[in-house]
Chains A and B, each alone.
Chain A
Amino acid sequence: MNHPNREAWVPYLYGETNAQERRELATHLQECPDCRRLIASWQHSLARLDAWKLPRLRRHRIPWLAVGRWAAATAGVLALGFVLGRQTNAMQTETLRARLEPQLREQVREELAPWMRSEMNRSAEATLAVASAQTEKLLAAYSTFNDARRAEDLQRWYVAVKQQLDTVALNTENGFVQLAANQSPAKPPVQPQP
């Protein structure tokens, strides 16, 4: 029996032959068990290829989660500083506390509130700037999201947060200095009274 070449079956298998070729090959297939077996084994293999599923493809995103985590950490540190400041006040003597507490509290609140607000604004701006710069780079070269850059961003965030921490520490220290300053002029009027 005169068999077609092996590669002639490839377009047949994928439905890419013209009508006449298709008819001829189909006729041959009906008559030839060898070719039928060959095509059946190819079809069987092809059907099994679909078992290799790829994992759902992830889309790259700006790492908002990391950004959010750092923002939360910053807010936490600020809150801790605030609470610590208040508790330090509580450890003063009763009289001093009675006199200074409302004043100090007001002072701390006045100082901290705008500072905190501006810090948060600044970090939000920095976040946006980093994010938009990244997006720009992504469009330009599509190579922005490699590990090195991400590590660099984290490093940048680390530095920023460390700066903020330093500022908090400085402010707390300033608070203490002011507290001490307030304390000394406050004492003389207390003693002569009794």
Chain B
Amino acid sequence: MRLVAKLSSWLAGTDEEAMRRVQQHDDHAAFARLVKRWEQPIRRLCTRMTGEPERAEDLTQETFLRLFTKRKEYRPVAKFSTYLWRIALNQCYDELRRRQRRREFLLPQTNDPEEDLEAPSEIPGPDLQAATLEEGELVRNALLRLPDIYRAVIVLRHYESLKLGRIAEVLDIPEGTVNSRLAEALSRLSRMLQPKLQRQSPRAAEQSCNCYEPSKP
């Protein structure tokens, strides 16, 4: 499957070449090829980041709209896909910020803002979840309860299979930071998805090992 995708992309020209044609000649056909090749990964990213397929649909369109309107700003120093992932992620972050502001506006302030950030009120806690929700929904809720920067690295690495170095390029951060964000994301996910197991062992393990650096968001 991957071989077929590679072969077809080789036959149709690289993304960078297509983007150059869009940039210099407003080539609609080249732009259509880019959209066709990338709309599904971008829509998946937006869906995983926001948790809402309908909103993700809009964000995908906004991403490509932005790609086109800002086509003159693209510099072919990085891979095209790095550039596109970055635009899409920024669209998602904007959307999540808007959502956060709406929530703050609509709901009375809680005493502990950290808690409010990590556990939006419409998402039930782990115990209730385990009893009532099916596995897919459980995972979705756990991911949505992660802070955005942790969810982003999980989505890019696990669901979109980007190498750690590529993620560092997309997010414009050192690879070490990608690793520590992923470590933190995985620990938080484990606490949410395996609350019983966590109460017995790995959290204790993390505490007993003085080598584990204290986790910082």
Interface residues of A (CB under 8 A from B): 2-11, 14, 16, 34-35, 37-38, 40-42, 44-46, 48-49, 51-55, 57, 136, 139-143, 145-146
- Taking A7-B182, A34-B205 as given, write out 10 further A-B residue pairs in contact, using a Cβ cutoff of 8 Å, ordered by the A residue number: A7-B183, A8-B179, A9-B183, A10-B164, A10-B186, A37-B201, A37-B205, A42-B186, A139-B32, A142-B64
Q: Mark B151-162, 1 if CB is under 8 A from A, else 0.
A: 000100111000
Say whether B183 contacts A141, CB under 8 Å: no
Residues of A close to B11: CB separation below 8 A: none
Contact indicator B186/A3 (Cβ below 8 Å) = no
Q: Tell me the total A-B contact number using a CB cutoff of 8 A.
A: 116
Secondary structure at the B interface, as helix, strand, loop or mixed, is: helix
Closest 6 CB pairs of A and B: A7-B179, A34-B205, A3-B211, A51-B135, A142-B64, A52-B139
* A145 proximity list for chain B (CB < 8 A): 61
B198 within 8 A of A: yes
Chain B contacts of A3 at CB under 8 A? 209, 211-212
Interface residue total, chain B, C-beta cutoff 8 A: 54
Q: Give the distance in Å from the alpha carbon of A48 to the alpha carbon of B62 in the complex.
A: 31
Residue pair A53, B136 in contact (C-beta under 8 Å): yes
What's the Cα separation between A190 and B32 when bound, in Å? 73
- The one of A10, A54, A139 that contacts B44, using a Cβ cutoff of 8 Å: A54
Q: Which B121-150 residues have C-beta < 8 A from chain A?
A: 135-136, 138-140, 143
Binds A, one of B85-93, B104-112, B189-197: B189-197
User: Do most interface residues of chain A lie in helix, strand or loop, or is the interface mixed?
Assistant: helix
Residues of A within 8 A of B35 (CB): 139, 142
Nearest A-chain residue to B30, judged by Cβ? A139
Enumerate 26 A-B pairs (CB-CB under 8 Å) in ascending A order: A5-B212, A6-B180, A7-B176, A7-B183, A8-B179, A10-B164, A10-B178, A10-B179, A11-B164, A14-B164, A37-B205, A38-B205, A40-B202, A42-B186, A44-B197, A45-B190, A48-B139, A49-B143, A52-B48, A54-B44, A57-B40, A139-B28, A139-B29, A141-B65, A142-B68, A143-B65
CB of B24 within 8 Å of the partner chain: no
Residues of A within 8 A of B17 (CB): none
CB–CB A140/B28 < 8 A: yes
B25 lies within 8 A of chain A by Cβ: no
- Give chain B residues whose Cβ lies under 8 Å from the Cβ of A51: 135-136, 138-139
Which one of B53, B143, B187, B211 lies within 8 Å of A4 (CB-CB)?
B211
Given contacts A38-B205, A38-B206, A54-B47, are A49 and B32 in contact (CB under 8 A)? no
User: Which residues from A are CB-within-8-Å of B154?
Assistant: 49
Is B40 within 8 A of A41, CB to CB? no
B61: contacting residue among A2, A41, A48, A143, CB under 8 A:
A143
Would you call A41 and B197 a contact (CB within 8 A)? yes
A141 to chain B, nearest CB (A): 6
Chain B residues positioned under 8 Å from A7 (CB to CB):
176, 179-180, 182-183
Residue of A nearest to B193 (CB): A45
Contacts of A143 in B (CB 8 A): 61-62, 65
Taking the complex as formed, is B43 at the interface, i.e. its CB lies under 8 A from any CB of chain A?
A: yes
Q: How far is the CA of A141 from the CA of B66 in the complex (A)?
A: 9
Given A42-B190, A48-B135, check contact A6 B212 (CB 8 Å).
Answer: yes
- Complex CA–CA separation, A107 to B208 (angstroms): 99
Quick one: given A7-B183, A34-B205, A57-B40, are A49 and B159 in contact (CB under 8 Å)? Answer: yes
Query: B28 contacts which chain A residues (CB < 8 A)?
Result: 136, 139-140
Q: How far is B61's CA from A16's CA once the two chains are assembled, in angstroms?
A: 33
CA distance A46 to B185 in the complex (A): 11
Q: What is the CB-to-nearest-CB distance from A154 to chain B, in angstroms, rounded to a whole number? A: 20
> What residue of chain A has the Cβ atom nearest to residue B180's Cβ?
A7
Chain A residues near B178 (CB-CB < 8 A)? 10
Residues 29-79 of B contacting A (Cβ, < 8 Å) = 29, 31-32, 35, 40, 43-44, 47-48, 53, 58, 61-62, 64-65, 68-69
